[in-house]
Amino acid sequence: MRVASLHIHPVKGMRAVDVARAKVETRGLAHDRRWLVVDEAGMFLTQRSHPRLATIEASVSETGLTLSSAGVPPLTVRRPNGKKRRRVIVWSSEVDAALADEDASSWLSPLVGESADLVYMDDAALRVKESVWTPAPVPVSFADAFPILVTTTGSLAALNDDIARNGGDPVPMARFRPNVVIDCDAPWAEDHWDRLKIGDVVLDLVKPSDRCIVTTTDQNTGARMGKEPLAALARIHRSTDPRINGVIFGENAVPRTLGEVAVGDAVIAQ
């Protein structure tokens, strides 16, 4: 098996960025989900409630980000120095994040349809995930659950086969917003893996990824595309773990050892 593709999401909820290689850090792939859009109350915004986020591209630079979306001039956002901060909420976590300048708010608010701010997870912005899935708390970015999301090509092929048998159109891997895609012929093999070794990097697979309406969202237009792939997953890949109620696709992972991974790297599953 090999790494088929790598993806980061510099701003949670915005369009994915394909990368050829990535550093694996404690909180996940470098530059993945370190920025976040929040509403006036500091609550995180995602494609669940604001699918138009998928139409915004965020490219990482040495000094911050460049945001772009069709019909509006791009905006360069400098990484905040941390002097201005905002208390933000991501699920059950409260994070003291660095606040980007007002230009970012002015640019984003019309696109998301409400007053919104952009915040950054600097070194002072600590978020720790405590759960029954890991023996100890895990440092994490603004990701929903754990630092890294792993999917496989074999599982996507099996899913699309079921969709086709039921008269639907295939869905791309982008719908699942993964970080690491493994080229693996066997469908659902990841359900049985405990650990992945990619060069010097070791990832512990700690929890299946339960899926929501975001998977029905076109990652270029932000349009909802119907019931798939959730309907197919309900037919062929529901969770059998009582701790997860719903359908699953992919595995959440926690880095055991850090390093760098690249497209084409050999993958050993254990």
- Each residue's pLDDT tens digit, 96-119: 999 999 999 999 999 999 999 999
Can you give the residue ranges of every domain in the chain? 2-27+130-269, 34-126
Q: Domain 2-27+130-269: state its class.
A: mainly beta
Q: What's residue 265's pLDDT?
A: 98
Mean pLDDT along residues 189-210: 98
Q: What's residue 26's pLDDT?
A: 98
Helical residues (DSSP H) of 136-259, grouped into ranges: 153-165, 230-236
Say how far apart CA 239 and CA 249 lie, in whole Å.
9
Q: What's residue 14's pLDDT?
A: 98
Of 94, 120, 261, 254, nearest in space to 182 by CA: 261
Cβ-contact 68, 74 below 8 angstroms: yes
Task: Please state the separation of Cα 13 from the chain's center in Å.
Answer: 8
Q: What's residue 19's pLDDT?
A: 98
Which three-class secondary structure state does DSSP give residue 158? Answer: helix
Q: What's residue 49's pLDDT?
A: 96
Q: What's residue 258's pLDDT?
A: 98
Helical residues (DSSP H) of the chain, grouped into ranges: 102-112, 153-165, 230-236
pLDDT band at 54 (very low <50, low <70, confident <90, very high): very high
Question: pLDDT digits over 169-184, tens only?
Answer: 999 999 999 999 999 9
- Distances from the Cα of 146 to the Cα of 46, 205, 232, angstroms: 16, 10, 25
Average pLDDT of the chain is 97
